[in-house]
Structure 1
Amino acid sequence: MDHQTGHPIQPDTTLLNRMFLTARSQNGWLDRPVDTALLEQIHDLARMGPTSMNCSPLRIVYLVSDEAKERLKPALAAGNVEKIMTCPVVAIFATDFAFADRLPFLFAHTDGKGFFERNPHLVEDTAFRNATLQAAYYMMAARALGLDCGPISGFNGKQLDSIFFPDTQLRVNFLCGLGHGDMAKLFARHPRLSFDEACQVL
């Protein structure tokens, strides 16, 4: 229901299919480059998703060159090497645990930075939760704009952080391949939990 008009919303079935129903986590990639302008367009969409206190702790490092991917290779689990090394763009989704330093700009109407300085026990959960939300927004935006995604968590996080984020407050959350998937390399879709299995209405 449209909250402004009160009329039912007619779903864009093509878009819903691209974002959810026919979209798949990719295991292989077509040899098609991804333009940086498209990555910028995805970011401009995804950054509009909500985070608590507009804290926006997600940071992304894009690995596009062979040299950059070779730096990542030692941190990858063996089963993920081929699909990551052959991916047009590998996004390192990282969490900035110093996110509060940006709050005077992002949340200027109150002292958000001071709030987290007075409550340091809230920093870790706030950063991780909201960066993960932002990464999910990002994948939905990427799919909406025609890219495929291949998120993975098969890597050594400490090793990756030492390679890409030494002496910083950034820590990797997960990796995501971005490009045009090779449908011939997909597995059959696995089942999902039904509403009754996953949800309660109280």
Structure 2
Amino acid sequence: GVRRIEAATGLNALSYLQKVEGSLAKVARTLKSSPDDVGEKVERLFEQNRTLEKELAEAKKKAALGGGSSGGGVDGMLAQAKSFGDAKALAVRLDDLDAKTARELADQLRDRLGNAAVLVASSVGGKAQLVVTVAKTLSDRAKAGDLVRDIAKVVSGSGGGRPDMAQAGGTDPGQIPAAMELFYGKVGEALGHPS
């Protein structure tokens, strides 16, 4: 319940006000506005920044799910799937995907492949993010939670989830290629087709 009040008097008060006015004038010059309009200008800049961040996230999502001209999109990814008897496995890496987009992409790839297990790996902000999804027809033999726990160790992480969908995070995104290879090996073992 104790409150602290600070005050300046005399020349100290004048010096403090001049310092504050100088800072405000500098900010106003940077924003190319008058000192009276600084607050409004900053609010507009924050709103523009939020809008641009949303547009960027939407563009990344569209590129991942819809495919851009550079990577061949989903069809190009599907061509990389490996067969394990009557099932397929696919591991793809797309950096800077948010978790929701990674899950959507993994689901889309799994649905397009049919009887399949899919890993979507991403490096986001210096960390590894892994999403594993497994067709319900395979989840009795290859459980997504077990797969993601095993491969998360490679990227110095941990995770878990349901038999058909699981996520993990790790601190070593440099090991994502090794985690992707291990994914194929673990799927092969689970399905009785070791590589």
Give the number of the structure whose residues are more often strand, by fraction: 2
Q: Which has the higher helix share?
A: 2
Q: Greater Rg, structure 1 or structure 2?
A: 2
TM-score range, shorter chain: under 0.3
